């Protein structure tokens, strides 16, 4: 039985990946941070909490990274841990660089000393491309437009450097936006489905959004974790773009979600709040994942429409059952 170690177990992707690896028969270890409240809601929601060995580690702390790697004795290590919210990276650029950028280097350096034969997956991001025009693939230049994007470019290059210099089997998955019912509440898709459900149940009247004209290539997180695993099963390590190849605006997502909720015109519910606009945003991000489709045999299974529908159905139940409003 193979051992897998996931940094960032408690996040959206960590939860889907843990579930996927358990189904493949892996012994799954995952890290979580010390917090003043429980952080295992997602693992509990999909019923895998008891199946994973949980290790306390923070990727800004080298000692705990080393212990996690020594304890798990991993065949495969997935680095999904990050300060992953682009908006906050403008307010906390130093923390973002430390966690999202240097955190990856700390893990790589620990692998070199403690698990040189482990295969390593790095969660790179389409945010690294910034406003480079057209469909992006593995050869497109990076022109990041946020502290988060800059930190991910650092981590991406550092991963490739360790691969070359120390022969670590390391892959970067350059993933475009991927969403799900387990998406964090501050990301725009989940914010929309969660807040709309609250309006529907009369728990609030309105909510605010920022740049609703921005377009993203939105896939389903459950489909994307399979691509992470496939990269580590190849003969040679390489980097891959993972995307649907379609982009939709925030406004389109909002319109479709409102329809699926069976609600009227969203113009009566939404206010545009200028404080939610970012100092620099990316107007349109769309990826070309031909290489992954050809070499990994991967393709997305969930359409944009079904993704929105699934998130709406989830949040209609989720909000109905909750007595403690999360956004207040
Ligand atoms: P997420 O839901 O925000 O999860 C991030 C994870 O990182 C959480 O488990 C979080 O722990 C953990 N974390 C944060 N700071 C940490 C620290 N200092 N030490 C250890 N762990 C820490 O993000 P996601 O959507 O699952 O994304 C997974 C990875 O893919 C991230 O690296 C993200 O940047 C990258 N990515 C995401 C997308 C996307 O569209 N989802 C696209 C491209 C790349 P807590 O639960 O305690 O906060
Ligand atoms: O924003 C606009 C916002 O925060 C999408 C992360 O997973 O994907 C994600 O980053 C767009 C932006 O995701 C609101 O300005 C409008 O143009 O959902 P988001 P993101 O910034 O694309 C990449 C690939 C990652 O790697 C990241 O980790 O929507 N937008 N109004 C809004 N965004 C938010 N959050 N909230 C709003 O009210």
Structure tokens at 136: 């992006």
Contact between 250 and 218 (Cβ < 8 Å)? no
Could you tell me the fold of the domain covering 3-179+218-242?
A: Rossmann fold (3.40.50)
Return the best residue to mutate from 79, 81, 86 for the ligand 2 pocket (most ligand atoms within 8 A of CB).
86
CA–CA distance, 101 with 83 (Å, rounded to integer): 9
Contact between 6 and 28 (Cβ < 8 Å)? yes
Sequence spans of domains, the chain: 3-179+218-242, 188-216+247-285+303-327
For residue 326, is pLDDT > 80?
A: no
When pLDDT is averaged across residues 255-267 and rounded to a whole number, the result is 95
Class of the 188-216+247-285+303-327 domain?
A: alpha beta
Model confidence over 39-81: pLDDT tens digits? 999 999 999 999 999 999 999 999 999 999 999 999 999 999 9
Ligand 1, CB cutoff 6 Å, lining residues: 8-14, 31, 33, 35, 39, 58-60, 80-84, 99, 123, 125, 175, 177-178, 184
Q: Count the Cβ atoms, other than its own, within 10 Å of residue 20.
A: 17
For residue 325, is pLDDT > 60?
A: no
What is the pLDDT, as a whole number, of residue 201?
Answer: 96
123 CA distance to ligand 1 middle (Å) = 9
Active site amino acids: 125, 127, 148
- Whole-structure pTM value: 0.97
Domains 3-179+218-242 and 188-216+247-285+303-327 are alike in CATH topology: no
CA–CA distance, 177 with 186 (Å, rounded to integer): 14
Model confidence over 269-288: pLDDT tens digits? 999 999 999 999 999 999 99
Contact between 76 and 118 (Cβ < 8 Å)? yes
CA-closest residue to ligand 2 atom 23: 177
Contact between 276 and 209 (Cβ < 8 Å)? yes
CA–CA distance, 163 with 157 (Å, rounded to integer): 10
Establish how many alpha carbons lie within 13 A of residue 233's alpha carbon, considering only the half-sphere containing its beta carbon: 13
Largest separation between any pair of C-alpha atoms in the chain: 59
139 CA distance to ligand 2 middle (Å) = 24
CA–CA distance, 131 with 153 (Å, rounded to integer): 14
CA-closest residue to ligand 1 atom 48: 11
CA–CA distance, 10 with 54 (Å, rounded to integer): 10
Q: How confident is the model at residue 324 (pLDDT cuts 50, 70, 90)?
A: low
């Amino acid at each position: 039985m193979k051992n897998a170690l996931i940094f960032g177990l408690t996040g959206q992707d960590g939860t889907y990946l843990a579930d996927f690896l358990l189904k493949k028969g892996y012994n799954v270890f995952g890290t979580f941070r010390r917090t003043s409240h429980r952080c295992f809601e997602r693992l509990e929601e999909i019923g895998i909490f008891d199946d994973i060995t949980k290790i306390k580690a923070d990727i800004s702390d080298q000692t705990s990274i080393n212990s996690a790697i020594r304890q798990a004795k991993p065949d495969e290590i997935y680095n999904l841990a990050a300060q992953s919210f682009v908006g906050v990276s403008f307010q906390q650029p130093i923390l973002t660089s430390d966690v999202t950028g240097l955190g990856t280097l700390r893990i790589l350096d620990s692998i070199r000393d403690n698990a040189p034969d482990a295969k390593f997956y790095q969660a790179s991001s389409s945010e690294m491309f910034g406003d480079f025009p057209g469909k992006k693939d593995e050869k497109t230049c990076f022109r990041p437009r946020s502290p988060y994007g800059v930190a991910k470019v650092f981590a991406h290059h550092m991963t490739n450097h360790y691969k070359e210099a120390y022969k670590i089997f390391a892959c970067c998955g350059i993933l475009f936006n991927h969403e799900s019912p387990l998406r964090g509440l501050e990301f725009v898709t989940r914010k929309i489905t969660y807040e709309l459900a609250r309006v529907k149940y009369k728990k609030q009247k309105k909510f605010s959004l920022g740049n609703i004209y921005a377009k993203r290539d939105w896939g389903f997180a459950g489909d994307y974790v399979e691509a992470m695993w496939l990269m580590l099963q190849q003969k040679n390590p390489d980097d891959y773009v993972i995307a649907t190849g379609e982009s939709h605006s925030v406004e389109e997502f909002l319109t479709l979600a409102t329809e699926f909720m069976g609600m009227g015109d969203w113009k009566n519910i939404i206010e545009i709040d200028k404080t939610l606009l970012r100092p620099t945003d990316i107007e349109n991000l769309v990826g070309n994942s031909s290489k992954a489709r050809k070499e990994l045999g991967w393709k997305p299974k969930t359409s944009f429409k079904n993704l929105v529908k699934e998130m709406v159905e989830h949040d209609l139940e989720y909000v109905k059952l909750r007595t403690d409003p999360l956004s207040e």
